Amino acid sequence: VSDNAPPIDKACLAALDEADPLASFRALFDLPEGVVYLDGNSLGPLPKATRARLDEVIGREWGRDLIRSWEANGWMDLPQRVGGKIGRLIGAEPDSTIACDSTSVNLFKALAAALGLRPGRRVIVSERGNFPTDLYVAEGVAALLGAELRQAEPDAIEAALDGSVAALTLSHVNYRSGRMHDMARLTRAAHAAGALMVWDLAHSAGAVPLDLAGCAVDFAVGCGYKFLNGGPGAPGFLYVAPRHHGAAMPLTGWMGHAEPFAFAPAYRPAEGVARALVGTPQVLSLAALEVGVDIALSAEMDAVRAKSVRMAELFAALVERDCAGLGLALASPRDASARGSQVCLRHKRAGAIMRALIERGVIGDFRPPDILRFGLTPLTLRYADLGAATAALAEVARALSG
């Protein structure tokens, strides 16, 4: 916001909401009264259509059609069907994405498969400061398969890539800072070193435009319950580039078999990404996830991104103006191209501030030791919400600084 911009006041925010091409999406969600929800990047809110869909799946498909639903109601295809829709959101080739298991389990599959594809190499590189479960899973895969996890500082990732590296695994958008990596550049760097690239899209899918195919990404995983609004603990997803569809997967359950219902005694992996499936599809949670994914697909991703960027800049400007001198500092990159769909602030009493904000119905996240995290979900947030959030933040920070 430049110095001679008009002041950001209630009328200005209302005008932005009035002109917002995504404004109608908010009505598709059940949002509690009196809450400013800046945590849709942790748990996306409830789509109104989810209850009706679950009611149908539970009452009609499970209750009435019973076991016949595996075929008659397409239950068996849910991982591919919902995964295929997610694939469209992330710029994947068709038939290369499945929805199943958790993000962590899918990351395990991708890393183990990557180690298998680079048999002479025994190092997985990741970023110190990556989301912990990513580091834990990488550490566990490495311990299990006689490899090693090498953690690099964010600006030393490329320098950490050498001929011993089988895979580089990074979160595209950092959970704490919101910093977004350059997917094309880092994927190229991994490939230049002969390594495979495994992205975690937990804070990217449904939030920022993605082009996995164009970036020649090898594997990607992500989360169904953040920007995809799939519900608490929704299944994650796994993308496998078509050129790796023949890779051996470490978890060889019956759903990854070429003919699960032939009940053959020996494992014969399915063609395509389906071989990364393991157990029986989680029907109820996949049905809920599909509702959220369908909404995301119906929004123009460029409009989503444009609103996200505008909201982030506006929120940062409001905080700078209204919370000056209260000990708050921007912890997210100022440059939009290096930032996902969240704004983080640093404050030494961040935990107490977030508790007080939540009491007032302004819901964000505290990430220890000192981060206030505000997720920006363009399908459900109004510009006016940012004004309300900033006002509450100023009051709370002032009270706690006093």
Question: Per CB under 8 A, which of residues 181..220 are in contact with its own copies?
Answer: none
Closer CB to its own copies, 76 or 306, in the complex: 76
- The amino acid at 346: R
Q: How far is residue 39's CA from residue 113's CA, in Å, rounded to a whole number?
A: 33
- DSSP string computed for 23-67: GGGGGGEE--TT-EE--TTTSPPEEHHHHHHHHHIIIIIIIITGG
With beta carbons less than 8 A apart as the criterion, state whether 222 and 200 touch. yes
Tell me the closest approach of the beta carbon of residue 265 to its own copies, in angstroms: 6
- Of the candidates 373, 374, 382, 383, the residue annotated as catalytic is 373
**Residue 226 bears catalytic tag:** yes
Residue with tokens 């008009």: 6
Among 249, 323, 356, 392, which residue interacts with its own copies (rule: CB under 8 A)? 249
**Residue 55 bears catalytic tag:** no
Q: How far is residue 373's CA from residue 364's CA, in Å, rounded to a whole number?
A: 6
- Of the candidates 25, 29, 225, 315, the residue annotated as catalytic is 225
Among 225, 227, 239, 315, which residue interacts with its own copies (rule: CB under 8 A)? 225
- Of the candidates 134, 200, 218, 365, the residue annotated as catalytic is 200
3-state secondary structure of 224: coil
Tell me the closest approach of the beta carbon of residue 138 to its own copies, in angstroms: 9
Closer CB to its own copies, 181 or 373, in the complex: 373
Tell me the closest approach of the beta carbon of residue 306 to its own copies, in angstroms: 26
**Residue 81 bears catalytic tag:** no
Q: Which of residues 31-90 bind its own copies (CB under 8 A)?
A: 32, 35, 37, 39, 42-43, 45-46, 50-51, 54-55, 58-59, 61-64, 66-70, 75
Size of interface with its own copies, in residues (CB under 8 A): 86
Q: Using the rule CB under 8 A, is 101 a contact of its own copies?
A: yes
Among 140, 272, 327, 351, which residue interacts with its own copies (rule: CB under 8 A)? 140
Tell me the closest approach of the beta carbon of residue 106 to its own copies, in angstroms: 9
Tell me the closest approach of the beta carbon of residue 221 to its own copies, in angstroms: 10
Tell me the closest approach of the beta carbon of residue 326 to its own copies, in angstroms: 25
- Of the candidates 109, 226, 307, 339, the residue annotated as catalytic is 226
Q: How far is residue 254's CA from residue 257's CA, in Å, rounded to a whole number?
A: 5
Q: How far is residue 389's CA from residue 365's CA, in Å, rounded to a whole number?
A: 13
Q: Which of residues 277-296 bind its own copies (CB under 8 A)?
A: 278-286, 288
Distances (CA, A) of 365 to 8, 347, 358, 374: 25, 13, 9, 7
**Residue 373 bears catalytic tag:** yes
**Residue 122 bears catalytic tag:** no
- The amino acid at 385: D
The encoded tokens of residue 18 equal: 């009035």
Closest CA to 232 of 19, 40, 370, 390: 40
Candidate segments 157-165, 250-258, 297-305, 347-355, binder of its own copies by CB under 8 A: 250-258
CB burial of 236-269 (b: ≥16 within 10 Å; e: otherwise) equals bbbbbbeebbebebbbbbebbbeebeeeeeeeeb
> In this structure, what DSSP letter does residue 323 have?
S
Q: How far is residue 357's CA from residue 352's CA, in Å, rounded to a whole number?
A: 9
Q: Which of residues 291-350 bind its own copies (CB under 8 A)?
A: none
- Of the candidates 25, 29, 37, 131, the residue annotated as catalytic is 131
Among 82, 117, 135, 362, which residue interacts with its own copies (rule: CB under 8 A)? 135
Which residues are tagged catalytic?
Answer: 131, 200, 225-226, 373
